[in-house]
Structure 1
């Protein structure tokens, strides 16, 4: 059976090259090939006069140099790794979403080469994360070497509304096994204001109920957890986004799920995943969760 490649979106920036490093390490852990993709609509900016020019457009030459440099970097890091490259003359978000159909994992950095490019790349990462067909890693924080040499030695996973059979939880345990580290499952809970009461003897009851529901959700999420991987579970009072961002400070990888609704063409990311992608202090894995 052929192992699907890990696909990395590269643009020549230092963050994208660090993403190549991270993905190369991950590919070694998985025994998977690495595919490096540069996508840009350079034809839009080169002008129609190039149509009659027999030489390659300058942006295409530059793109080929970028992927070649990235490939050399990956091979230096992992000499036995199979690396392929491609230059695609199209919008990067469309190209990467399409690439995710035949990938085991999609990896991107977070910033581009300038202020405008930073905003563009950020929007590309968000769009792709909301539509990718495979799990996607968005590199956040000081992530250098964290795949091979984890700084904190743990993978954190956020447990969502439908914890049983969660693809995000399965992915977290798979990544933890590859790294030889434990998993921390986290579930946040809040007591709506309309459920509280001014009576001192009754004020804690609604909160206790919501906390117990969070405990039960964690139990359901971990009921099929592999016995050979150490795991812990925690409930946190507060907004899920804030709880996960706080947990990211002590994690090598933060895993969240993103619901995918068939036939829905809008951004399918969710507010929690969206917020975590903006604020996490470690790499974030966004895992599609079929409805």
Structure 2
């Protein structure tokens, strides 16, 4: 049985963009779409669905939200099978639990209480750190529409441990589905203590670190199928900045997150937090094995 793509919906414009993106992804993968609304409150305080239904926001209820999201998904991809679920519980717990039986978990950027989209909402950030399957946070547009992939480019950040290539495998699969280029990015930095004022030696440490970054990239992409156009790019500077720059003109940015037995959930460091908050395109967080 094909595992569904699960989308967290709350009636906000960011969550409706997530429905659009997920419907396109479900059509690409040939899998069902499952729309989940979870809240301890029966009524919804918001405007996007209320406007569509011609109701005041305080009159909109859980079933209205998932029904409106389902209609939107059908309009977007009529052939995708859509199911809905409403749950009277905190969305963080509900979505993490739903991720156990999902091929992909998708959310928007809105936080509870209508927090600004400039930063990732608390629900999406919490779920990103505990999901049991790859998770995509849809961001990059602010006009209540999710763009179909038009750039033909999937970016994957390659970290220190290329021996755990779950993120690379995920990115390669996404590139294949879209017929897109796989753009693997590895950042490197020149340690300050290795600097030298000697003009004949000044470039040697930098070349060494860049070469090491290139070798890490090569190892990480070693098992990528030959029919995928995989490109390697080393960038001097902070990883977070390199990936945020690479997200411009990309259809998806993929990063890995490690799970440790002594840590509840995934290790989302400064790089993951930075791209989740500021990426110019949707971001996929892929759990790496321990």
TM-score normalised per structure 2: 0.89
2:43 touches 2:60 (CA, 8 Å); kept in 1? no
Question: How far apart are the structure 1 equivalents of 2:116 and 2:86?
Answer: 18
Offset from partner CA, 1:92-146 (integer Å, 9 cap, x none):
1111111111100000111258644769961111111111111111011128454
Q: Which residue of 2 aligns with 1:224?
A: 223
Question: How far apart are the structure 2 equivalents of 1:82 and 1:19?
Answer: 16
Q: Which residue of 1 aligns with 2:163?
A: 164
Size of the aligned set, in residue pairs, is 276
Question: How far apart are the structure 1 equivalents of 2:59 and 2:88?
Answer: 8
1:241 touches 1:275 (CA, 8 Å); kept in 2? yes
C-alpha RMSD of matched pairs (Å): 2.4
Question: How far apart are the structure 1 equivalents of 2:66 and 2:114?
Answer: 22
Q: Which residue of 2 aligns with 1:126?
A: 125
Question: How far apart are the structure 2 equivalents of 1:117 and 1:63?
Answer: 22
Q: Which residue of 2 aligns with 1:76?
A: 75
Question: How far apart are the structure 2 equivalents of 1:184 and 1:120?
Answer: 25
Question: How far apart are the structure 2 equivalents of 1:251 and 1:135?
Answer: 18
Q: Which residue of 1 aligns with 2:240?
A: 241
Question: How far apart are the structure 2 equivalents of 1:181 and 1:62?
Answer: 40
Query: 1:209/1:117 Cα in 2 relative to 1: closer, same or farther (>3 Å)?
Result: closer
2:118 touches 2:278 (CA, 8 Å); kept in 1? no
1:36 touches 1:67 (CA, 8 Å); kept in 2? yes
Question: How far apart are the structure 1 equivalents of 2:7 and 2:275?
Answer: 21
Which structure features the higher share of helix residues? 1
Deviation (angstroms), 1:43 = 6.8
Task: Out of 190-199 and 7-16, give the one that drifted further.
Answer: 190-199
TM-score normalised per structure 1: 0.88
Q: Which residue of 1 aligns with 2:203?
A: 204
Question: How far apart are the structure 2 equivalents of 1:125 and 1:94?
Answer: 11
Query: 1:267/1:73 Cα in 2 relative to 1: closer, same or farther (>3 Å)?
Result: same
Offset from partner CA, 1:220-262 (integer Å, 9 cap, x none):
0111111111111110000000000001112111111111112
Where does the alignment leave 5 or more consecutive residues of structure 2 unmatched? 45-56
Matches within 5 A, 1:184-199: 184-199=183-198
Question: How far apart are the structure 2 equivalents of 1:278 and 1:286?
Answer: 13
Offset from partner CA, 1:25-60 (integer Å, 9 cap, x none):
100111111000011111799xxxxxxxxxxxx989
Question: How far apart are the structure 2 equivalents of 1:209 and 1:269?
Answer: 29
Q: Which residue of 1 aligns with 2:61?
A: 62
Where does the alignment leave 5 or more consecutive residues of structure 1 unmatched? 46-57
Q: Which residue of 2 aligns with 1:7?
A: 6
Q: Which residue of 2 aligns with 1:24?
A: 23
Query: 1:112/1:130 Cα in 2 relative to 1: closer, same or farther (>3 Å)?
Result: closer
Matches within 5 A, 1:36-115: 36-42=35-41, 62-111=61-110, 115=114
